[in-house]
Amino acid sequence: MSNEYEIDDPSFVRVTAASHPTTIGDPIANAHSALDAIKQYAGSEIIVFGELSLTGYSCGDLFAQDLLLEKSIDALELLASQTHDQVVVVGLPLRVENKLYNCAVLIAQGQVQGIVPKQFLPNYQEFYEARWFCAANGSEAKSVSIAGMGEIPFGIDVLFDLDELVLGIELCEDLWMPIPPSSLQAAAGANLILNLSASNELIGKADWRKTLIRSQSGRCLAAYAYASAGPSESSTDVVFGGHCLLVENGAVLAESERIGQSGCTWLEHSQATADVDLQKLTHDRQLSNSWQIASQRCNAMNPIPYRRISIVRRQVSDGSQRQVNARPFVPKEGPALHARCAEIFGIQCASLTQRLRKLPADMKLNIGISGGLDSTLALLVAAKTCQSQGWPSSRIHAITMPGFGTTDKTLASARDLMQHLEVESEEIDIREMCFDTFRALQHKPFGMGIDGLDLDAFVDRLGELPPDKLNDLVFENVQARTRTLILMSRGFVLGTGDLSEQALGWSTYNGDHMSMYNVNTSIPKTLVRFLVRYLAKEEFQGPASQCLLDIADTPISPELLPPSSEGEIQQETEASIGSYELHDFFLYHMIRFGCGPKRILQLASLAEFSQPFAEEEIRQTLTIFLKRFFGNQFKRSCVPDGPKVGSVSLSPRGDWRMPSDADSAAWIAALEDAEKSL
């Protein structure tokens, strides 16, 4: 699919936080500098510049000069006259009722729409703002009259309403307070906070600043655009770095260069631009009852009710710049990769440790090993758990149970893995038991009579069947349930099924679907493969490492149907139901953010998958996902205990409570409608 689509979804809004070159004390020059920058960001709906950007933050006692204040108004008028479709927010000093305020001014559609003064003025160490400005506290005039611009809303109680988008504004120091104004603004409905700042660069300050912005964005369940003054400000005593950030609910969407970062010694311009997803923020606010309670309390305590300034929203971007991760469950490459993988594996091991500590010390941990991904990860968790607790690896009783679909390759992998991990191992061929069950049930596998056949003759006949005849659910279910019977007859069973299989119902009910505990229950298939590869490199060395890498490269299959005449896997799961990469993508966006089919398709069009998928393949796979997801809730309603690892879980005792007889018709119809409109 295309990497861009025409935006017809108002929940996306492109925002730019920017720092432009500043001429200290020359508002007209700064207005032209801002206009040049605005042209560069023509696709952004919202543009916010740094604190006092029309004069320069570092004017000092020049703020007391009438000429500077008058020229600031002229510069504002110039800027407003040439700002039409975009919303632009700039900083300037403004005299109101004989008091001077450090203000943020919002311009849209050729007019100044509102002005927000700064509430908290730093007056310590290198800062002296109280020398020039008055701190706003809500007692100010509710509007100001500016020649040529009319009466303009003014105050700390102003929000800007653009339909789904509600803007709140705070200035620099406001953010660093115990209760920032943005907390109250978010409680009153703001979902995008703009911060005009002049934060100087000191050793370590940038990391703390970034942490603060991420934290505030996450607490407010909002997007946060932060624009700081740049190095063209006066360097008499300090240096400003031009640090710009765009954060959404704690996640950094975009970040500019800044002075002192990676050898950066000068910046003419700096900016951070990204598409904010308002629908995600709305979903999280709707889902969090704690946030709703906090909002109600904040609103009740706030002595100054907010005024909403309505502005007609005009979308100006011609395509999305939203970065959509094609593998949202898989950790990104980078410095944090090792820590994230270790964290996931550690959660799995800790959960199993706690469960095993409640069992008799001599009780075996039984696990079925197929030579595939899921059972491999579960066995690695068990092995590490025993190692960390000082329990002998022989406490793990690993059983491989080859059946009619088992290939030489996966059987060899299962044997090698059990040997390399030095666990107690056993091999039980289940074919005779299954064959006897077919007889007892008077079942004819694939329509083939079995009277008078022994097992060897039956297996030979299976090998002669053409692929289009290999469709027999009883044949598959008997094998899965036989394996579960063997395992559970031995005692405590460690489950291996993953989150993706739960979502799709790709398991045999009361077969591989059931166990006494499942450490993989919230690990999706794409993450299982990734973790096995990671553990092969970082945790398990020597021959075990190569064995794990071989398993990670093996096609995913339940191996319940006979292999090909060449002994290769013939029943590949992804050939039947579609790519797990797509299914995991659908699962994440549907469950985590409540996305409907149209939105999922739009997001998929922006994602760079590991291989190109045709539009029709994505839509067909989404249809399969929706039908199977709704049709298999009955299996999820009684899954075993297991740890939640990520933000998505389908546990009926935790995140996902859904009636087993819910209907997918509305979702399928929405998908069909989306196919017509996209």
The predicted-structure confidence for 279-289, as pLDDT tens digits, reads as follows: 999 999 999 99
Q: Give which of 509, 518, 439 is closest to 477, Cα–Cα.
A: 509
**Is 525 assigned a catalytic role?**
no
Q: How far is CA 129 from the centre of its chain?
A: 39
The predicted-structure confidence for 115-173, as pLDDT tens digits, reads as follows: 999 999 999 888 899 999 999 999 999 999 998 889 999 999 999 999 999 999 999 99
Q: How far apart are CA 649 and CA 490, in angstroms?
A: 29
3-class secondary-structure state, position 396: strand
Q: Are strands 244-248 and 223-228 parallel, antiparallel or unpaired?
A: antiparallel
- Rounded to an integer, the average pLDDT of 106-114 is 96
Which pLDDT value is given to residue 566?
A: 80
- Rounded to an integer, the average pLDDT of 190-209 is 93
Q: How far apart are CA 552 and CA 571, in angstroms?
A: 17
Which pLDDT value is given to residue 8?
A: 55
Q: How far apart are CA 273 and CA 227, in angstroms?
A: 11
Catalytic residue of the set 172, 244, 341, 349: 172
Asked if residues 165 and 192 have their Cβ atoms less than 8 Å apart, the reply is: yes
Which pLDDT value is given to residue 4?
A: 37
**What values do phi and psi take at 48, rounded to 5?**
-125, 130
Catalytic residue of the set 45, 51, 233, 501: 51
Is the model's pLDDT at 72 over the cut of 70?
yes
Cα dihedral 40, 218, 118, 300 sign = positive
**What values do phi and psi take at 141, rounded to 5?**
-60, 145
Residue 414's Cβ-count burial label (10 Å; 0-12, 13-18, 19+) is buried
User: From the CA atom positions of the chain, what is the Rg in Å?
Assistant: 31
Asked if residues 48 and 60 have their Cβ atoms less than 8 Å apart, the reply is: no
When pLDDT is cut at 50, 70 and 90, the band that residue 571 belongs to is confident
Percent of all residues in the chain with a pLDDT value above 90, rounded to a whole number: 82
Which pLDDT value is given to residue 304?
A: 85
| Residue 604 CB contacts under 8 Å (≥ 6 apart), including other chains | 1, 324, 582, 585, 613, 618
Q: 393: part of which helix (H) or strand (E)?
A: none
Q: How far apart are CA 183 and CA 188, in angstroms?
A: 9
Q: How far apart are CA 430 and CA 435, in angstroms?
A: 9
| Residue 87 CB contacts under 8 Å (≥ 6 apart), including other chains | 45, 46, 47, 106, 107, 108, 160, 162, 167, 311
Q: How far apart are CA 53 and CA 57, in angstroms?
A: 7
Q: How far apart are CA 544 and CA 181, in angstroms?
A: 56
The predicted-structure confidence for 276-312, as pLDDT tens digits, reads as follows: 999 999 999 999 999 999 999 988 888 889 999 999 9
Q: Are strands 307-310 and 365-368 parallel, antiparallel or unpaired?
A: unpaired
Which pLDDT value is given to residue 318?
A: 65
- Rounded to an integer, the average pLDDT of 560-570 is 84
Which pLDDT value is given to residue 96?
A: 96
- Rounded to an integer, the average pLDDT of 217-245 is 93
- In this structure, how many other beta carbons lie within 10 angstroms of the beta carbon of residue 123? 13
The predicted-structure confidence for 35-52, as pLDDT tens digits, reads as follows: 999 999 999 999 999 999
The predicted-structure confidence for 331-383, as pLDDT tens digits, reads as follows: 887 777 888 899 999 999 999 999 999 999 999 999 999 999 999 999 999 99
- In this structure, how many other beta carbons lie within 10 angstroms of the beta carbon of residue 412? 13
Q: Give which of 229, 191, 224 is closest to 210, Cα–Cα.
A: 224
Strand partners for 245? 226, 255
When pLDDT is cut at 50, 70 and 90, the band that residue 611 belongs to is very high
The half-sphere exposure of 514 on its side-chain side, counting CA atoms within 13 A, is 16
Q: How far apart are CA 384 and CA 349, in angstroms?
A: 7
Place of tokens 């640090």: 243
- Rounded to an integer, the average pLDDT of 241-269 is 88
3-class secondary-structure state, position 366: strand
Q: How far apart are CA 320 and CA 333, in angstroms?
A: 24
Length of the chain, in residues: 678
Catalytic residue of the set 118, 280, 525, 635: 118
- The amino acid at residue 79 is L
3-class secondary-structure state, position 523: coil
Residue 290's Cβ-count burial label (10 Å; 0-12, 13-18, 19+) is exposed
Which pLDDT value is given to residue 319?
A: 66
**Is 268 assigned a catalytic role?**
no
**Is 99 assigned a catalytic role?**
no
